[in-house]
Amino acid sequence: MKLWFLLVIVLAYSCEKNSECSSLEVCDNGKCRHKDIFPITNWEILGTCLVFIMSGLAGASGIGGGALFVMIIVTFSHFNPSSAVALSQYSVIGTGLTAASIKMFLRHPTRNRPLIDYDLIVILISPLLIGTSFGVIANISSPYWLILVILIGILIYLTISTLQSAIKHYKKETEIFNNPTLISSPCESPTDPHLQKIYSAEQQTFPLRALLIIFSIYIFTILSSLIRGSRTFKSLAGLEFCTWSFWLASGAILMVLIGISIFCVNYKLKDYKIKVAYGYDFDEKDIKWDESGCRKMVIAGVVTGFLGSVIGIGGAIIMSPVLLKIGVRPEVMAASMSFMVFFTSTVSALQYTIAGKVNMSYALWNLAFCLLGSAFGVFVIKAIVNKYKRASIIVMALAISQGISAVTIIVYGIYNAVTQERDFGFHNYCE
């Protein structure tokens, strides 16, 4: 019986000609594999158009759009969900790269400094990675139904929350239009030399200290992922998955991230106290980086990283509404999240590529159209915001992106749960 079952499986994956394979698959050396992008089908052309549109929406609102791209790739290119997730990371890279590249040269709407809040990223990046490390374990160990329930609940909540934020920002903008005196005027010429030095340093388009910290964490994350390995990727250091050496390395990486987070928080606390002492002119929507503000942001980062990994969506789609609730300007939120999305997606894409799960022809094809689509979306939304002086349009674009993600993921998730047999119990992470 076992021999017969094995024979059936072997025959199911073997072939002699393309007609014996599934849709959009070809017979290659006796095995069915997905075809390359060319010759491209009409359905794939339609899917490419949707990728272009969704990347514009995602780039403008500051999210990666991974969930949107997964659904398009599964539906129109007929990849299985696992392969679609791997391919979507290249789409997110394209979206994040273009959006971040454009927004790096934009300026804050009320102050003479970059639109991207690099201090925010410095504080958030380590907690996000810490939360992600626990979220991956929870994702693998949790049953599918539990992940689906959590995913549905979070997406519905975030969509409603973002819509409320959009309405709140719209009303605030209307109030300012009717009463222009509510607009705070920045201090243009401080007399204190220490304050002049602070303003001068902030005017830099590329703050070297913050970027050095961000790139150091980025490189450390890539190297630690390659050294640690995973269930599907062999460790470059020869560590066996789930052995004592694997857990020891995981613990060491976690401790380094905690240490980096403590260092960054202490540095920002000191910097904030100096600004307050010299009478720095804060924007009304600047984050107050006191002990309470740093603590809230670190907790938000850990929780966001954990939930994003558990339910399998990008952290930006969760973090963006949190930042809006805190009071961060929509323009600053979108720019900062776009910058962060690029870094996180490149790490994921590298891991999937090394593990051999990426069809490079499709990956590069989607990457190219996401580069173009994101640029189109960023410039169009920017032009609309500048014309009507309403940053709430960015929040509305975010809400639309989240709403589309919620509907597509919920429909596909329920369909997948009903049509496929699944183990409804918890799983052992190491098995």
pLDDT tens sequence across 255-292:
999 999 999 999 999 999 999 998 888 988 899 999 99
Query: Would you say 377 and 289 are in contact if contact means Cβ atoms under 8 Å apart?
Result: no
Measured in degrees and rounded to the nearest 5, phi and psi for residue 183 equal -75, 125
Question: Tell me: the pLDDT tens digits for 191-201?
Answer: 678 888 888 88
**pLDDT at residue 290, rounded to an integer:** 92
Distance (Å, whole) CA 274 – CA 267: 11
pLDDT score recorded for residue 424: 63
Q: How would residue 297 be classed by pLDDT, with cut points 50, 70 and 90? A: very high
Work out the pLDDT band at 7, boundaries 50, 70, 90: very low
Beta carbons of 316 and 57 less than 8 angstroms apart: no
Higher pLDDT, residue 122 or 317: 122
Query: What is the chain's percent helix, strand, coil content, to nearest 5?
Result: 70, 5, 25
Q: 161 vs 426, which has greater pLDDT?
A: 161
- Greatest pairwise CA separation for the chain in angstroms: 88
Confidence of residue 177 (pLDDT cuts 50, 70, 90): confident
CB atoms within 10 A of CB 40: 14
Strands (E), 213-272: none
Least confident of 110-124, 218-232, 351-365, 416-430: 416-430
Q: What is the mean pLDDT of the chain?
A: 84
Q: What is the DSSP code (8-state) at residue 235? A: -
* Range of lowest pLDDT (39-48, 89-98, 344-353, 391-400): 344-353
Q: Are 305 and 258 in contact (CB under 8 A)?
A: no
Paired strand residues for 107? 114
Cis-peptide into 81, omega within 30 deg:
no
Residue 223, token pair as written in the block: 């190297």
How far are the Cα atoms of 6, 81, 398 from residue 165, in angstroms, in the given order?
56, 32, 10
- Residue 211 — pLDDT band, cuts 50, 70, 90? very high
Contacts of 416 (CB under 8 A, 6+ apart): 81, 144
pTM of the model: 0.84
Of the candidates 38, 42, 43, the residue with the CA atom closest to the CA atom of residue 26: 38
What pLDDT does residue 98 have? Answer: 93
Residue found by looking up tokens 């969506």 in the block:
313
Q: Is residue 95 scored above 70 in pLDDT?
A: yes
Helix axes 244-277, 291-311, angle to 10 degrees: 150
Residue 222 structure tokens: 């890539």
Nearest by Cα to 127 from 314, 315, 285: 315
Which residues does residue 32 pair with via DSSP β-bridges, in sequence order?
27
Nearest alpha-carbon partner for 367 in 392, 342, 395: 342
Instruction: Using the structure block, give the residue that is written with the tokens 């613990």.
Output: 251
Task: Say how far apart CA 335 and CA 256 lie, in whole Å.
Answer: 28
**Smallest Cα–Cα separation from 321: which of 399, 404, 400?**
399
Q: Which long-range contacts (CB under 8 A, 24 or more apart) does 77-85 make?
A: 77/24, 77/34, 77/43, 77/44, 77/47, 77/362, 78/22, 78/23, 78/24, 78/25, 78/34, 79/34, 79/359, 79/362, 81/416, 82/357, 83/34, 83/357, 83/358, 83/359, 85/312, 85/352
